[in-house]
Amino acid sequence: MFFLKLFLLYIKGLDPIYELFLKNKRVLDVGCGQGEVLRKDKELIYGFDINEQVIAELVAEGYQVKTGDVIAMPFVDDFFQVIYNRNIIEHLEPAIARKMFVEMKRVLKKDGKIILISPMPKTIWNTFGHIKPYPPVAIKKLFRPVSLESFDSVRGLEIEKVFYYGTWSKNKFFFLIATFLAQFCNYFRGSYLLIIKKIC
């Protein structure tokens, strides 16, 4: 059970996302910021960010990073096994978010995975810079064969798994209980993790 794997890693003090999805794989960290994820593996984890000063500091430390934007990722096609995208999409307008998926698909190898984490609608408005929520059901519609939007579908990607986190609490016990309940009840859902696979 996915929840049990996450739970066991979490109580051991390990990073469940890194251990389950990123470890020993060539990873792209979208919007890498200060390099928290990059520091887990200097050789295999690459990153980019729009903040030139942050990227300059990371380059000076020897990390594989570039200045870039989600609509023009500065990497070659079919290069990464995993793309890590945490708390980015909710800052984007819909047309830009769609272009980001197109770019992620481009730089991802076939059968590669996108690990996307974002707030659910009930918690998204707690941050001033958030533009809109993108719950899993909305993203799933973007991947359908025929778009009913003002832009085309993004073909070749499919959602493999949806996992919900509970509303955040400093108390680990309460957070884990809320996360367990979030799998069944919308009220407890603070954010989600999507595993998206490139199928072609």
Query: What is the per-residue pLDDT across 149-179, written as a single tens digit (0 to 9) for each?
Result: 888 999 999 999 999 999 988 888 898 899 9
Categorize the per-residue pLDDT at 76 as very low, low, confident or very high, splitting at 50, 70 and 90: very high
According to DSSP, the residues that pair with 194 across neighbouring strands are 116, 162
Is 129 domain-assigned? yes
Is 37 domain-assigned? yes
Categorize the per-residue pLDDT at 38 as very low, low, confident or very high, splitting at 50, 70 and 90: very high
Distance (Å, whole) CA 2 – CA 151:
34
Helices (H), the chain: 2-11, 16-17, 52-60, 94-107, 121-124, 136-142, 172-182
Quick check: 48 pLDDT over 90?
A: yes
Work out how many domains the chain is built from and give that number: 1
- Are 172 and 166 a contacting pair, CB within 8 Å? no
Whole-number pLDDT of residue 146: 87
Is 20 domain-assigned? no
Is 165 domain-assigned? yes
Whole-number pLDDT of residue 3: 78
- Are 123 and 135 a contacting pair, CB within 8 Å? no
Is 177 domain-assigned? yes
Whole-number pLDDT of residue 178: 95
Distance (Å, whole) CA 120 – CA 90:
10
Whole-number pLDDT of residue 35: 97
**What is the pLDDT averaged over residues 179-196?**
96
Residue ranges making up the domain that contains 94: 26-198
Rg (CA), the chain: 17
CATH of residue 69's domain is: 3.40.50.150
Is 4 domain-assigned? no
**What is the pLDDT averaged over residues 77-87?**
98
Average model confidence (pLDDT) for the chain? 95
Whole-number pLDDT of residue 83: 98
Kindly state the percentage of the chain with pLDDT values over 90.
84
- Are 59 and 65 a contacting pair, CB within 8 Å? yes
Whole-number pLDDT of residue 170: 87
Structure tokens that stand for 36 in this block: 């928290």
Sign of CA dihedral 143, 70, 97, 123: positive
